[in-house]
């Protein structure tokens, strides 16, 4: 497997992690990037039809990687009991959680036999910080989804998830949330995506921290 | 704390786990049960207004326990990419996940100082079985929610979650999903809820398996 040139879709390929992943994989593979506004193709992970169209357009694909997803940081006391429609958890559930799950469920039907899916969660599942209740919840859901989906993957396919700590490159935006956390470099995080795609691991939470 | 008589609300108190929890806690405390149709008071965890009304009606409460929540078992291949409204994950997200999160977020504002909240997830977060992708995802989300929310609890309050294996009493319904799992007795699962309420643990996933 390590010698075959793969066609890999990186959804979020223009973001901090996505750019590093693209740079790493481009050395050995064909990389197509997707994003809501940037990238080689446009798609919105909250719109399943746009995901489906992208997979049909780019077929055959060997691997898909998602490196994006929004969730709401807020003090826990501000999170009110509310219907899902108006819940402060809705962005995380619709975007980072169900967006990536929908990509995975679509990729399962469209990738080549033996293809791989790699999602992104984060350290906040195991190590929450003040204000991270919603992102922590979303990351916990994603890690569990991948463990469960892996054992039912058809056609020799695999699925893993990369769980990075705060990125050195993102300290300007997220640093205040992550006091006391050792930041990791995007290029080191990219290695975990390469490991997911280019080795045979399956159902793993690849922690970079 | 162990000698004070507490007023405890058990949401799902007529279910298999809830009945055992009630029987355990009634030996030392006042227990009020709630359910959609049965129980001392009626509430629907998917309806935040009904949760709020119950807390206002029963105030002051020292502790709340939830022992119910629905999620969909289905082969992974049948789970299609879809908008949240029509996703097969919606029941788990709206019922077991957001239902319990809404109870927790409401209890945070209504319980007495030093009160405790205890939710329910399950072994499927860490040990998925065929067909458990959606319940596993929901359990992972709940475990992470509790870890994160615990450190931001106001007024000396605590929150924990009990994660049981398949119940001996539920083998008729769930046995086929849990081949090779050692079932646990409802009365042993009830001990974990007692530990959450009557000790000082906080932010813990209390595994019964």
Q: Look at residue B2 and tell me if it is in a domain.
A: no
Q: Structurally, how many domains does chain B consist of?
A: 1
In a domain, A140, yes or no: yes
Phi, psi of A44 (to 5 degrees): -120, 115
pLDDT digits (tens, 9 = 90+) for B25-63: 999 999 999 999 999 999 999 999 999 999 999 999 999
- Burial (CB count <10 Å: 0-12, 13-18, 19+), residue B179: exposed
Q: Is A133 on the interface with B (CB under 8 A)?
A: yes
A93: contact with B, CB 8 A cutoff:
yes
Which residues in chain B touch residue A125, judged by CB atoms under 8 angstroms apart? Answer: 140, 144, 147
Q: What is the structure's pLDDT at B31?
A: 98
Task: Give the gap in angstroms from C-alpha B190 to the nearest C-alpha of chain A.
Answer: 25
Residue A125 domain-assigned?
yes
Mean pLDDT of A109-118: 98
Give the residue on B whose Cα is nearest the Cα of A44: B83
Q: B88: distance to nearest CA of chain A, Å? A: 11
A71 shares contact with chain B (CB less than 8 Å): no
% of chain A exceeding 90 in pLDDT: 98
Answer whether residue B57 is part of any domain.
yes
How far does B104 lie from chain A, in Å, by closest CA?
8
For chain B positions 160-199, those within 8 Å of chain A (CB to CB) are: none
Residue A202 lies in a domain: yes
Residue B1 lies in a domain: no
Alpha carbons B93 and A103: distance in angstroms, whole number: 18
CB contact under 8 A, A130 and B149: no
pLDDT at residue A2 above 90?
Answer: no
A155, closest residue in chain B (CA to CA) = B77
Is pLDDT above 60 for A161?
Answer: yes
All residues of chain B having their beta carbon less than 8 Å from the beta carbon of residue A96 are none
Indicate whether B64 belongs to any domain.
Answer: yes
- Whether the per-residue pLDDT at B182 is higher than 80: the answer is yes
Alpha carbon distance A72, A114 (integer Å)? 35
Nearest CA among A85, A91, A134, A79 for reference residue B46: A85
- Would residue B75 count as lying in a domain? yes
DSSP, collapsed to helix, strand or coil, labels residue A145 as: helix
Does residue B191 have a pLDDT over 80? yes
List, for residues A11-28, the tens digit of each pLDDT value: 999 999 999 999 999 999
Q: For residues B96-116, give the mean pLDDT.
A: 98
A81 and B87: CB-CB below 8 Å?
Answer: no
- Pairwise CB contact (< 8 Å): A124 & B75: no
From the number of C-beta atoms within 10 Å of its C-beta (0-12, 13-18, 19+), residue B40 rates as middle
The torsion angles phi and psi of A186, rounded to 5 degrees, stand at: -55, -35
**pLDDT (tens digit per residue) in A35-76:** 999 999 999 999 999 999 999 999 999 999 999 999 999 999
Mean pLDDT across the stretch B162-189?
96
User: At B19, which CATH number?
Assistant: 3.40.50.720
As a whole number of Å, the CA-based R_g of chain A is 16
Which positions 18-37 of B are in contact with A (Cβ < 8 Å)?
Answer: none
In which domain, by residue range, is A204 found?
7-208
Whole-angstrom Cα distance, residue B141 to residue B104?
A: 14
Query: What pTM, to 2 d.p., does this model score?
Result: 0.98
């Amino acid at each position: 497997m390590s010698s075959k040139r793969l066609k890999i879709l990186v959804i979020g390929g223009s973001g901090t992690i996505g750019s590093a992943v693209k740079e790493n994989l481009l050395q050995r593979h064909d990389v197509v990037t997707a994003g809501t506004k940037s990238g080689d193709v446009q798609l919105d992970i909250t719109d399943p039809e746009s995901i489906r169209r992208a997979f049909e357009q780019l077929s055959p694909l060997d691997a898909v990687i998602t490196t994006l997803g929004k969730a709401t940081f807020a003090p826990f006391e501000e999170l009110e009991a509310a219907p899902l429609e108006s819940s402060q958890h809705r962005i995380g559930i619709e975007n980072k959680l169900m967006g990536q799950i929908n990509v995975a469920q679509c990729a399962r039907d469209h990738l080549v036999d033996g293809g791989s899916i790699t999602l992104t969660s984060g350290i906040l599942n195991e190590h929450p910080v003040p204000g991270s209740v919603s992102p922590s919840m979303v990351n916990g859901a994603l890690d569990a989804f991948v463990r469960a989906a892996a054992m039912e993957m058809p056609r020799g396919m695999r699925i893993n998830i990369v769980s990075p700590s705060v990125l050195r490159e993102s300290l300007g935006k997220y640093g205040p949330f992550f006091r006391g956390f050792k930041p990791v470099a995007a290029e080191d995080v990219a290695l975990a995506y390469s490991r997911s795609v280019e080795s045979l691991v399956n159902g793993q939470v690849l922690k970079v921290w």
